């Protein structure tokens, strides 16, 4: 069974940094692209960032480009999101999501999702 467990959320001041983690199990982690999606509570979904299976190809939403960095450690089956220069508008639940496409950089959907971790940016 695929499991994705996010952690690292919390309260941070504007301008601060936070590192989110997503630990995966139940599948061969190094063969699948992974993504981060966020959602302001009560609002819609926003794709944040994606990374290919080997960690070479990385993609970002314009809203986070230059501030957030996605990475993965395939030896630990872990996905990360380093968030710097945080703003109030980054406040959201952050989900990690798995592609179903073995070996592909671009997913055809997000087949599995974690339960999310809440990031609150406030003074």
Partner 1 sequence: DIQLTQSPSFLSASVGDRVTITCRASQGISSFLAWYQQKPGKAPKLLIYAASTLQSGVPSRFSGSGSGTDFTLTISSLQPEDFATYYCQQLNTYPLTFGGGTKVEIK
Q: CA–CA separation, 76 vs 118, rounded Å?
A: 23
- CA-based end-to-end distance of the chain: 40
For the chain, state the CA radius of gyration. 13
Number of residues that bind partner 1 (CB under 8 A): 23
Of 14-22, 66-74, 79-87, 105-113, the segment contacting partner 1 by CB under 8 A is 105-113
CB of 30 to partner 1, least distance (A): 21
- Using CB under 8 A, pick the residue from 61, 82, 91, 118 that binds partner 1: 61
Which residues, numbered 26-55, are part of the site for partner 1 (CB under 8 A)?
Answer: 35, 37, 44-47, 50
């Amino acid at each position: 069974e695929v499991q994705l467990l996010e952690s690292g959320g919390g309260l941070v001041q504007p301008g601060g940094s936070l590192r989110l983690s997503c630990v995966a199990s139940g599948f061969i982690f190094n063969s699948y692209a992974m993504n981060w999606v966020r959602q302001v509570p009560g609002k819609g979904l926003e794709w944040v960032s994606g990374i290919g299976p080997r960690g070479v190809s990385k993609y970002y939403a314009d809203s986070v480009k230059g501030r957030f960095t996605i990475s993965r450690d395939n030896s630990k089956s872990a996905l990360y999101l380093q968030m710097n220069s945080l703003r109030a508008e980054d406040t959201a639940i952050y989900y990690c999501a798995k592609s179903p496409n073995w070996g592909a950089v671009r997913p055809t959907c997000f087949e599995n999702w974690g339960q999310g971790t809440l990031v609150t940016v406030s003074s």
